[in-house]
């Protein structure tokens, strides 16, 4: 088993070509691990690029790392590259960069300054009787309806003082980035942030088989889903995009992304008033939120029987979050159909009170200051304490180097964190971590991990919240049995249960024997109310006899 090279081995920021070294690192990584997923022509482009003069390689990478695919040549000026036109020539010769691309009006306005646009569109501006000092927005609004074709810059502006080029290999570069990171959310800045010390990642041992994708069609499907989402964000209608959504592949990870896209398409259609299109998207999405939204749309349309039958079917396999929503829907539907109301399990209620404080001010801080005492400090923790303790204890299981979980040096957590088989794949390791709660080893283990992993990015440990004083006090005051119960609930649904925890915790190490040494406080400001995930956690705490309260803040009258 070989360790992945650390990101710092790729380049130093003192090297003006650091970005080129980082890009070469990615190319080498992909060629070594994903070579079989590249076509012959893609291999050819990469091999040719590696033989170019250094300034040409660097200029291509500079363009790849900037936004968009169209660039003013006069803006491609970099000291380390030198003569831009000389560096550009080999890229133009190979067709990787296009000289004089056709530009539509929107692209023209994005690339040119107002003074340049007035020169380029002087004739149209006069024909439309626009004032000479018309703003860029006014000018664009006026000419867009009448200038519908695309032309090279010189045809828009014969005396242009700059030139425009288009990058033609961005699709391949996005494919490289996707195969390296396993997503398109991360970008080339990850290298720079790591070099600056702003981000540190756990170095997980990797093998040659550790990679995000096993087949080229998986990469293609991911890219297709990503492009559809981009097109939706750019305003294309959901009914058109829904027809282009790839079929389910059988890959659980990709199918989950597909379901989320269908959910978003459905939401967009619903907002625009197209209920039937929304229903179609929701029905095709295997997503719990989509199932609930489908039922609500059916209810609004008066299709109560269909909604009732679907809700009953969903209830049999629903998780906590979905069951909570179904618990609200089913009684309403039953009443509409004159059916017996389903038996409902009422949630446990925490002690609730109203506190009048001077304000307005941040409510959590106000309550913390009100209750804190020298021997019983109050900490603002929200979702940072219990999840942080969980992350420390289960660190070895979370960062276990399983195939498909880690495949590059920039993982903040395993790629399969929210997949159904996450726990099953690590059950023995999770059990071993939790066993430390039974024999008392967890104190030393969690403190040791806190010191050893300080600052390393984690999906659960927020270092700014989980300070050493808070950690040591929490380990003193929170019983191991309570921690085990909370950690077990987190593991049952990591995606939904990691949020909704109380805002504050008061730790009371000197409490009398037999009395709780902590209490959790959920704070609600004026007009605020409990969210569903908060209600689920409060119900859980109450049923496990863990001290939790809900504090509603009201501001004291002035004067």
- Domain positions in the chain: 2-181, 215-336, 352-555
What gap in Å lies between CA 453 and CA 475, rounded to an integer? 18
Q: What is the CA radius of gyration of the chain?
A: 29
Give me the pLDDT at residue 207, please.
Answer: 74
Give the number of other CB atoms < 10 A from CB of residue 191. 24
- Taking the alpha carbons at both ends of the chain, their separation in whole angstroms is 71
Return the CATH number of the domain spanning residue range 215-336.
1.25.40.10
Residue 9 per-residue DSSP state = G
**Burial annotation 485-500 (CB, 10 A radius, 16+ → b, else e):** bbbebbbeebebbbeb
| Beta carbons of 436 and 445 less than 8 angstroms apart | yes
Which contacts of 506-512 are long-range, i.e. CB under 8 A and separated by 24 or more positions?
506/371, 506/372, 506/376, 506/377, 506/378, 506/379, 507/376, 507/377, 507/379, 507/473, 507/474, 507/476, 507/477, 508/375, 508/376, 508/477, 509/375, 509/473, 509/476, 509/477, 510/375, 510/376
Q: Facing residues of 507 across strands?
A: 518
Q: Facing residues of 3 across strands?
A: 205
Report whether the peptide linkage leading into residue 360 is cis, meaning its omega lies within 30 degrees of zero: yes
β-strands 205-206, 2-3 pairing? antiparallel
In order along the chain (559 residues), what is the average pLDDT of each group of 10 residues?
42 82 92 94 96 97 94 96 97 97 96 95 92 93 95 96 96 94 87 73 83 91 97 95 94 91 98 97 95 96 96 88 90 91 75 91 94 96 96 97 87 90 94 97 97 96 95 97 98 94 96 94 94 94 96 88
What gap in Å lies between CA 128 and CA 143, rounded to an integer? 8
Give me the pLDDT at residue 8, please.
Answer: 42
What gap in Å lies between CA 337 and CA 280, rounded to an integer? 24
β-strands 504-507, 518-524 pairing? antiparallel
3-state secondary structure 72-90: EHHHCCCCCCCCHHHHHHH
Burial of residue 213 (number of CB atoms within 10 Å: 0-12, 13-18, 19+): buried
| Beta carbons of 265 and 281 less than 8 angstroms apart | yes
Joined tokens for residue 344: 């409902």
Give me the pLDDT at residue 316, please.
Answer: 83
- CB neighbours of 54 closer than 8 A, spacing ≥ 6? 17, 20
Give me the pLDDT at residue 212, please.
Answer: 84
Give me the pLDDT at residue 137, please.
Answer: 95
């Amino acid at each position: 088993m070989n360790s992945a090279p650390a990101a710092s081995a790729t380049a130093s920021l003192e090297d003006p070509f650091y970005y080129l070294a980082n890009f070469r690192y990615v190319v080498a990584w992909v060629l070594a691990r994903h070579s079989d997923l590249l076509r012959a022509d893609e291999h050819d482009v990469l091999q040719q690029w590696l033989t170019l003069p250094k300034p040409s390689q660097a200029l291509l990478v500079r363009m790849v790392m900037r936004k968009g695919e169209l660039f003013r040549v006069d803006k491609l000026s970099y000291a380390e590259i030198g003569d831009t036109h000389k560096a550009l020539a080999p890229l133009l010769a190979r067709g990787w960069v296009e000289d004089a691309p056709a530009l539509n009006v929107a692209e023209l306005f994005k690339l040119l300054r107002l003074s340049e646009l007035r020169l380029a569109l002087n004739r149209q501006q006069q024909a439309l009787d626009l004032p000479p000092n018309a703003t860029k927005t006014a000018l664009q609004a006026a000419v867009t309806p009448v200038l519908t074709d695309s032309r090279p810059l010189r045809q828009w502006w014969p005396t242009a003082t700059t030139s425009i080029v288009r990058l033609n290999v961005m699709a391949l570069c996005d494919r490289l980035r996707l195969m390296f990171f396993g997503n398109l959310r991360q970008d080339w800045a990850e290298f720079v942030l790591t070099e600056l010390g702003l981000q540190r990642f756990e170095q997980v041992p990797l093998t040659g088989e550790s990679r995000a994708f096993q087949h080229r069609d998986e990469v293609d499907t991911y890219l297709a889903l990503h492009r559809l989402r981009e097109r939706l964000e750019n305003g294309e209608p959901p009914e058109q995009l829904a027809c282009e959504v790839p079929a389910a592949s059988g890959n659980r990870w990709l199918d989950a992304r597909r379901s989320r896209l269908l959910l978003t398409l459905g939401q967009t259609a619903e907002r625009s008033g197209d209920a039937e299109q929304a229903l179609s998207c929701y029905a095709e999405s295997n997503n719990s939120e989509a199932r609930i939204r489908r039922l609500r749309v059916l209810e609004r349309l008066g299709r109560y029987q269909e909604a009732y039958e679907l809700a009953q079917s969903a209830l049999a396999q629903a998780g906590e979050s979905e069951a909570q929503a179904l618990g609200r829907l089913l009684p309403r539907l039953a009443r509409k159909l004159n059916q017996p109301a389903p038996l409902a399990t009422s949630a446990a209620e925490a002690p609730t009170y109203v506190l009048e404080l001077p304000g307005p001010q941040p409510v959590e801080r106000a309550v913390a200051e009100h209750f804190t005492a020298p021997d019983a400090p109050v900490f603002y923790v929200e979702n940072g304490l219990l999840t942080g303790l969980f992350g420390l204890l289960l660190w070895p299981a979370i960062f276990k180097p399983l195939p498909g979980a880690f495949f590059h040096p920039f993982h903040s957590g395993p790629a399969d964190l929210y997949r159904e088989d996450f726990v099953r794949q690590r059950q023995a390791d999770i059990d071993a971590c939790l066993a430390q709660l039974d024999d008392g080893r967890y104190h030393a283990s969690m403190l040791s991990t806190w010191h050893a992993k300080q600052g390393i990015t984690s999906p659960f440990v927020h270092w700014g919240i989980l300070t050493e004083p808070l950690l040591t006090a929490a380990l003193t005051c929170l019983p191991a049995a309570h921690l085990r119960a909370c950690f077990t609930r987190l593991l049952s649904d990591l995606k939904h249960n990691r949020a909704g925890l109380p805002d504050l915790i008061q730790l009371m190490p000197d409490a009398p024997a037999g009395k709780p040494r902590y209490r959790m406080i959920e704070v609600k400001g004026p007009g605020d109310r409990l969210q569903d995930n908060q209600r689920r956690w409060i119900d859980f705490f109450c049923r496990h006899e863990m001290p939790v309260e809900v504090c509603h803040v009201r501001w004291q009258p002035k004067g």
